[in-house]
Structure 1
Amino acid sequence: MDNLSTQSLHSCPRCHRSFECTPTSAAGCVCFQFKIPPQVANFIKANFDSCLCPACLTELIEASN
């Protein structure tokens, strides 16, 4: 996810829901809470310009199993 900003409120490019993520804080990016399989990470990189919300990450990870 190359286009991370320092803002904490983001809009998910997949579902357009708002979610909080602070990639520059000690808590880190919301993505760090997930074990994202390589195929899912590659799909996200190929199809989206920024991080996805936790709900979309969960859906994509579960669908890859």
Structure 2
Amino acid sequence: MNYEQSTMIQMSKHEIISCDRCGDRIECKANSYTKCQCSVVPLTINEVQYISENYDGCMCAKCLLELQGEYKEIMA
């Protein structure tokens, strides 16, 4: 871990994790879900099920949007 990563982790009130899909570093705010970056992507129950069938961990908003689009294409 370099100095920048160490400083970011120390400054963060939440856990820094890797997106389960793309690997980008994200700040997980599971204890403050409404403030988490993933909460900006409104997913239907079916979209959540589709995503959870392929991934186990947290994801960045960009990946959630892409998977939402993928699901919509499959269902079209």
Is the structural similarity TM-score above 0.5? Answer: yes
SS at match of 2:38: helix
TM-score of the pair, normalised by structure 1:
0.66
Unpaired stretches in structure 1, ≥5 consecutive residues: 1-5
Count residues in correspondence.
60
Deviation at 1:26, TM superposition (A): 6.8
Q: Which has the higher contact order (CA 8 A, sep 6+)?
A: 1
Q: Is residue 30 of structure 2 the alignment partner of residue 18 of structure 1?
A: no
Larger radius of gyration: 2
Q: 1:58 to 1:11 in 2, by over 3 A?
A: same
Identity among equivalent positions (%) equals 30
Q: Distance in 2 between matches of 1:27 and 1:41?
A: 17
TM-score of the pair, normalised by structure 2:
0.59
Greater share of residues in helix: 2
Unpaired stretches in structure 2, ≥5 consecutive residues: 1-12
The equivalent residue for 1:8 is: 15
Contact 2:50 2:71 in 1 (8 A): no
